[in-house]
Amino acid sequence: MTDPYLPKSGNGGYRALHYELELDYRVITNRLAGKAVITSRAVQPLARFALDLGRFRVADVRVDGRRATFTHRAGKLRIKPEKPIGHGTIFQTEIRYAGTPVPVSGRWGDIGWDELTDGALVASQPNGAPSWFPCNDRPADKASFLVSLTVAAPYTALVTGDLISRRRDTWVYERNEPTSPYLMSVQIGRYELVELATGGVPQWAAVPHRLRPILGHDLGRHGEIMTAMEALFGPYPFREYVVVVADDDLDDPIEAQGMAVFGRNHLDGRRTHERLVAHELAHQWFGNSLTVADWRHIWLNEGFATYAEWLWSAVSGGPSADALATEWHARLARQRADVIISDPGVGRMFDPLVYKRGALTLHALRTRIGDAAFFALLRSWAAEHEHGTVTTDEFRAHARRFARVPIDDLLTAWLDRTELPALPIFGL
């Protein structure tokens, strides 16, 4: 089943289990050569199947070692194996491809592989993964990854995952946790690695040399943010966390699995953007470990990460979550209420209303059921669905388990209606 918001992305008939990618990237010429071996399980008999892949030249396709016929146009690599694949069969598809990686253009601008002034970055949410590797580009089709990336010195190559080896110019990363294709990322630049915190979860930053001094201040509380979020949401769901600061300006930070990417404009020596640091870290729980089953449920990513900003503000001595909720409620009351948060539509899925009203929904729920039940709910939600997919209806059912008072009316008003409800009074 494809995503109702992005029906051209993703493919049916199989589930991807594991991707093994061997990539060679030339920074100066922006040329990428790749070999992808994808292990999948057929969920129905397959005489043919498809993968998502951008504008590359495909040289060869094999299924279980045998040459397969294929066509490649309009972002779809359609494959007909030599023999049909039976229901339940695990099979391997090998694709050799090369060309100039270009982002996927659409209503959100350019998404996916993008050249920097001196390097490259990947920001694939929601449909940019095919800009650099063949995949089943659905958020719910999570798989493990092994990525080998060769890039010439003096560039550092960073891929979402754990670095398991490096030999000369080849970097090998492993991502064992189930991962959506859009959450895989590559970052290439002249970076230095800096430790952000000692003890606990390993936390690193990759930063251009000239930005190291202000990085030490702007991300100086990163270890405290991690500690606070583990206390609020439960154990960090991956082995380490890497913050990349590109030597270019970026409109917004970008989350990937175990990684966040900021632009140089997000460092100013005054911690102006620390709320975004908290926001991107919170996505490791809500969005990356717990991934939406499809894009209708994006408030489960963005509303939760926005509320994490407010929670960090309260912990760190800034305005309380209640004060921020009151402020944002007043702001939204002055705007037109025309988005249903539980199903905003593809054109509004990144609307600020989804972020802020999603956060207000959580604050309203917290006010209704009390702190003890609310934070127990959050930790249980993250633990029970770790590395899985989630929906809004699953969240409603989960919340009912922790509420000693009725909450269906509250969630319906906040999630399923356009009108902005009043913020509830504690206990009512």
Q: Which of the four pLDDT bands, split at 50, 70 and 90, describes residue 106?
A: confident
**pLDDT above 70 as % of the chain:** 99
* Residue 183 to residues 230, 288, 363, Cα–Cα distance (Å): 21, 7, 27
CATH 2.60.40.1730 domain range(s) in the chain: 14-99+125-182
Q: Taking a C-beta distance cutoff of 8 angstroms, is the pair 230, 236 a contact?
A: yes
Q: What is the CA radius of gyration of the chain?
A: 22
* Residue 206 to residues 130, 163, 195, 223, Cα–Cα distance (Å): 25, 14, 9, 16
The per-residue pLDDT for 338 is: 96
The per-residue pLDDT for 424 is: 82
Q: Taking a C-beta distance cutoff of 8 angstroms, is the pair 332, 357 a contact?
A: yes
The per-residue pLDDT for 1 is: 67
Q: Taking a C-beta distance cutoff of 8 angstroms, is the pair 122, 55 a contact?
A: no
192-281 has which CATH code?
3.30.2010.30
Q: Taking a C-beta distance cutoff of 8 angstroms, is the pair 110, 83 a contact?
A: no
Task: Please state whether the peptide bond connecting residue 45 to the residue before it is cis, i.e. omega within 30 degrees of 0.
Answer: no
Q: Which of the four pLDDT bands, split at 50, 70 and 90, describes residue 13?
A: very high
Task: Please state whether the peptide bond connecting residue 154 to the residue before it is cis, i.e. omega within 30 degrees of 0.
Answer: yes
Judged against a pLDDT cut of 70, whether residue 426 lies above it is answered with no
14-99+125-182 has which CATH code?
2.60.40.1730
Q: How many helices (H) does the chain have, and how many strands (E)?
A: 9, 23
- Tell me the sheet residues that pair with 148: 22, 172
Judged against a pLDDT cut of 90, whether residue 196 lies above it is answered with yes
pLDDT tens digits, one per residue of 275-298: 999 999 999 999 999 999 999 999
Q: Around 400, how many Cα atoms within 13 Å sit in the side-chain half-sphere?
A: 11
Q: Taking a C-beta distance cutoff of 8 angstroms, is the pair 124, 160 a contact?
A: no
Tokens of 261: 């990417």
pLDDT tens digits, one per residue of 122-140: 999 999 999 999 999 999 9
SS3 of 285-305: CECCCEEECCHHHCHHHHHHH
The angle formed by the CA atoms of residues 409, 410 and 413, to the nearest 5 degrees, is: 85
Judged against a pLDDT cut of 70, whether residue 428 lies above it is answered with no
The per-residue pLDDT for 427 is: 46
Q: Give the chain's mean pLDDT.
A: 96
Judged against a pLDDT cut of 90, whether residue 418 lies above it is answered with yes
Judged against a pLDDT cut of 80, whether residue 381 lies above it is answered with yes
Judged against a pLDDT cut of 60, whether residue 188 lies above it is answered with yes
CATH 1.10.390.10 domain range(s) in the chain: 292-415
Q: Got the DSSP string for 41-109?
A: EESS-BS-EEEE--S-EEEEEEETTEE-EEEEETTEEEEE-SS-B-TT-EEEEEEEEEE---PEEETTE
CATH 3.30.2010.30 domain range(s) in the chain: 192-281
What average pLDDT does range 332-359 have in this prediction? 97
pLDDT tens digits, one per residue of 197-242: 999 999 999 999 999 999 999 999 999 999 999 999 999 999 999 9
Considering the domain 292-415, what is its CATH architecture? Orthogonal Bundle (1.10)
**pLDDT above 90 as % of the chain:** 97
What is the SS3 assignment for 5?
coil
E-strand ranges in 272-378 read 291-292
The angle formed by the CA atoms of residues 377, 200 and 185, to the nearest 5 degrees, is: 80
